[in-house]
A = this chain, B = another copy of it.
Amino acid sequence: MENRQWRLRARPTGMVDASHFEKVAVALPSPGPGEVLVKTAFISLDPAMRGWMNDTRSYIPPVGLGEVMRAIGIGTVVASNDPAFVAGDLVTGPTNVQEYAVAPAKQWFKVAKDVAPPERWLGVLGMPGLTAYFGLLDVGQAKAGETLVVSAASGAVGAVVGQIGKTLGMRVVGIAGGAAKCKYIVDELGFDAAVDYKSEDVRAALKKHCEKGIDVYFDNVGGELLDVALAMLRKQARVVLCGAISQYNNEGGVVVGPKNYLSLLVNSARMEGFVVFQFAQRYTEGVMKLAGWYGEGKLKAKEDVVEGLEKFPDALQRLYRGENFGKLVLKVA
């Protein structure tokens, strides 16, 4: 049996494409002492992946050239050398972009098969959900009655951010690209309003929907949207820096800085970044809350499933072009 995988062949300087990866087939790995072998079912395609491909100092080391591309996935235990897992268990963890993965037992997390379809553990009940939960509540210090604006609002993180905002009693405005996504976040997810950045004047639309200004801006996008939001901050507002997908594929890695950052000064406001890993000790708390809301129907989920490991580079490009609608996952088996 063989294990097909995508390895990093070259570091992109601008938009990532298939030329940066190499598809190889190697022998099926065997788990060593304390290790677990997992057959990948779904791989999560995340905005953060582009950053992992750069050879720069960050919150985790870059993927090395020639290494299997890093990814979080969900799959089934095939063989285990640790008593915590048995064959057939459904687990999430570092599958990376391949059909079979071996990793130490402590890197895998067993999930309940009857709570949700497996791909959902990569979305609302997984890292994106936890990112939304800790980002909005801990970093953003969101409170009932405040006005929340979230960018990439129909995306994996944004959709959860907005829905948690509604459960808190906030006014929630989402920014998304295209009529379908805007209709979805209002009609299906219960946002108070949506702004279509592809067809509307975002500044004018946000002014209309946020009459008092913005208390919390949850930013997944960066670029111009961040500048528009900064100009509308209320006193003591919080800008949560979760991502900047508009900037990740800039040629040469040059990022456009927010020219309105001095709005933070005159409004005594804060811009704060985070990575979900800093809340690792509280994942159980977060998953319990998310699963509770999900069970009550307060947290709706939508995945965009691309089938076939061979589609990985194309699917990744769809993500950075904003062409996915819902949490983007790659179905492997």
Contact mask A253-280 → B, CB, 8 Å, 1/0?
0111111111111111111111100100
Interface residues on A, range: 20 to 34
A interface secondary structure, majority: loop
A55 to chain B: closest CB distance in Å?
14
**A273 engages B278 (CB within 8 Å):** no
Contact mask A38-66 → B, CB, 8 Å, 1/0?
00000000000001000001110000000
**B265 engages A241 (CB within 8 Å):** yes
A247 at the interface (CB under 8 A from B): yes
Question: Which B residue sits closest to A56, measured CB to CB?
Answer: B266
State which of B244, B257, B264, B278 has its C-beta within 8 Å of the C-beta of A272.
B264
Question: Which B residue sits closest to A270, measured CB to CB?
Answer: B272
Contact mask A217-240 → B, CB, 8 Å, 1/0?
000001000010000000000000
**A244 engages B268 (CB within 8 Å):** no
Q: Which residues of B contact A37 (CB under 8 A)?
A: none
A288 to chain B: closest CB distance in Å?
23
A54 to chain B: closest CB distance in Å?
11
**A269 engages B272 (CB within 8 Å):** yes
A242 at the interface (CB under 8 A from B): yes
**B275 engages A268 (CB within 8 Å):** yes
Q: Which residues of B contact A255 (CB under 8 A)?
A: 259-262
**B243 engages A265 (CB within 8 Å):** yes
**B259 engages A265 (CB within 8 Å):** no
A207 to chain B: closest CB distance in Å?
12
A60 to chain B: closest CB distance in Å?
9
A105 to chain B: closest CB distance in Å?
28
**A58 engages B266 (CB within 8 Å):** yes
Question: Which B residue sits closest to A59, measured CB to CB?
Answer: B266
Q: Which residues of B contact A227 (CB under 8 A)?
A: 257
Residues in A151-190 with C-beta less than 8 Å from chain B:
none
Given A259-B255, A262-B241, residue A271 in contact with residue B271 (CB < 8 A): yes
Given A255-B260, A259-B254, residue A274 in contact with residue B278 (CB < 8 A): no
**Docked CA distance A210–B285 (Å):** 37
**A271 engages B264 (CB within 8 Å):** yes
**Docked CA distance A242–B261 (Å):** 12
Q: Which residues of B contact A241 (CB under 8 A)?
A: 261-262, 264-265
**Docked CA distance A266–B241 (Å):** 10
- Which 6 A/B pairs are nearest by Cβ-Cβ distance? A257-B257, A265-B273, A264-B273, A257-B259, A270-B272, A257-B258
Known: A264-B271, A265-B274, A269-B272. 20 other contacts (CB 8 A): A58-B266, A241-B265, A244-B265, A254-B259, A255-B261, A255-B262, A256-B259, A257-B258, A258-B258, A261-B261, A263-B273, A264-B272, A264-B273, A265-B275, A266-B273, A268-B272, A268-B273, A268-B275, A271-B271, A272-B272
